[in-house]
Structure 1
Amino acid sequence: MRLLDSRRALISCGIAALCTLTACAGYTPTPVADTAGLNTEPTVIDTATDTDTDTDTDTGPTATDTEPADAPTVQAVEDEPETGTRQTKWGPLSEADQELIKKVRLASLWEMPMAQDAIQRADSARVRQISKEIAAQHHVLDRQVRDLAAKLKVKLPVKPTDQQQDWMADISGRSGSAYDTTYVKWLRLAHGQIFTLIGTVRGTTQNTLVRRFSEQANAAVLNHQRLLESTGLTTPESFPTPST
């Protein structure tokens, strides 16, 4: 009886062990290396190779960053027409109007520094005296012409013409009474030349700003001619050649 019971117990243990092995054989554990696929952290983008231009590394605003799409285009003064008549809010601006504005500016570019030079170098006290008045009045006239040109968008010259530079060199290269007579000769000649243009523009311009300016220029140039003639140094060479 004991032997039979021992066999039964042994068989039971064997069956239990076999079931345990069979159950274990059906389970396959997940490899440790696959756990990276379960990462819930957001992917980090390498910005060093990001080619998008809208990044934090922008070096500064561009034209499109600071101007609205419908912003008006600002036209440079250089692009404005320099010849022909064009309309302005003060009336038509003719070629003659523009020529007067430019030539008054040119006059100041060489006559003002030469008058200032004559204040120091002229031999005659009278020449030195009138030069002070001419220099001061050209200073005012030049400010007026620059203001006018800015309003009417007329490009002004920035240096004297070749002929004016020749006059300046001729005056500067002399001394004593020769300096005085040469200075008076060229300034009187230049004032006589522009005086004709001033009269033409004053009589023909339809631009109210230019009309007013032509009167200011007329008063200044006429006064300068009188001052130069008051020195007693004017000669036939100091006047424009009479028209035939």
Structure 2
Amino acid sequence: MRLRQSRRVLISCGIAALYSLTACAGYTPTPVADTAALSTESATVDTEPTDSPSTQTENESETGTWQTKWGPLSETDCKLITGVRLARLWEMPIAQDAVQRASNPKVREISKEIADQHHTLDRQVRDVAAKLKVELPVKPTDEQQDWMSDISSRSGSAYDATYVKWLRLAHGKVFALIGTVRGSTQNTLVRRFSEQANAAVLNHQRLLESTGLTTPESFPTPSI
């Protein structure tokens, strides 16, 4: 009798265990999150492009340009920026000197205008250079220093004529560069600056020519 009861107990436990296993096999855990909604891509971060030449890509280095937020900046663009700065470094002080030393009243008059306008133009070029991270020169070129020495070594009408000659020649050189950059630059900041420089340089040429001292020596030799 006891044996039969033991068998019944064992059979009941076996059936109960079988039900338990069957229930576990059919169990599906509830997802803790909707994994389909999760993105594996990195977050996009807006960054301002660097203007430093040191970050040029290999391709940019070969073409002599690098990217800025205002568009590509070329070596020719930089040449205009540094050229305008160089013009200020010698033309502004020599114009200020001419205000005091020129014997011709007209030369003294136009020299004051040129010096004042160079002050404005220099502020503009420094602003452009700072934004584009272009290093500016701190002293005139050897050629410009020679011009300054030649002007300063003279007096009277010779001073006036030499002053007008070298300034007009220098303005003619940078004027050609301005035209090249204005027509070719893809940088909007440089394009706007080239227009500002163009207006200033053209006005300086007219002022110099208004003195009546413009001679054939004041013009560059025509290219063949």
Q: What amino acid does structure 2 have at the position aligned with 1:212?
A: R
Q: Displacement, 1:176?
A: 0.4
Q: Does 1:118 align with 2:95?
A: no
Q: Residue 197 of structure 2 is aligned with which of 190, 194, 217?
A: 217
Q: Does 1:160 align with 2:140?
A: yes
Tell me the alpha carbon deviations over residues 74-110 of structure 1, each in whole angstroms, 9 at most, x when there is no partner.
x9x7967799101000000011100000000000000
Q: Does 1:136 align with 2:116?
A: yes
Identity, % of aligned positions: 80
1:35-184 maps to which residues of 2 (within 5 A)?
Answer: 84-184=64-164
> Are the aligned partners of 1:228 and 1:234 in contact in 2 as well (CA < 8 Å)?
yes
Q: What amino acid does structure 2 have at the position aligned with 1:188?
A: R
> Are the aligned partners of 1:80 and 1:154 in contact in 2 as well (CA < 8 Å)?
no
Q: What amino acid does structure 2 have at the position aligned with 1:149?
A: A
- Output the CA distance in 1 between the equivalents of 2:122 and 2:137: 12
Query: Moved runs in structure 1, 4+ residues, more than 3 A?
Result: 77-83
Aligned length: 170
Q: Displacement, 1:241?
A: 1.3
- Output the CA distance in 2 between the equivalents of 1:155 and 1:165: 20
Q: Displacement, 1:222?
A: 0.2
Q: What amino acid does structure 1 have at the position aligned with 2:96?
A: Q
SS in 1 for 2:65: coil
Q: Displacement, 1:133?
A: 0.3
Tell me the alpha carbon deviations over residues 6-49 of structure 1, each in whole angstroms, 9 at most, x when there is no partner.
xxxxxxxxxxxxxxxxxxxxxxxxxxxxxxxxxxxxxxxxxxxx
Tell me the alpha carbon deviations over residues 112-146 of structure 1, each in whole angstroms, 9 at most, x when there is no partner.
00000000000000000000100000000001000
Name the TM-score, length of structure 2 as normaliser.
0.73
Q: What amino acid does structure 1 have at the position aligned with 2:74?
A: S
Q: Displacement, 1:225?
A: 0.2
Q: 1:181 to 1:209 in 2, by over 3 A?
A: same
Higher mean C-alpha deviation, range 78-87 or range 118-127: 78-87
Name the TM-score, length of structure 1 as normaliser.
0.67
> Are the aligned partners of 2:53 and 2:66 in contact in 1 as well (CA < 8 Å)?
no
Higher mean C-alpha deviation, range 226-235 or range 77-86: 77-86
Q: Which runs of 5+ in 2 are unaligned?
A: 1-49
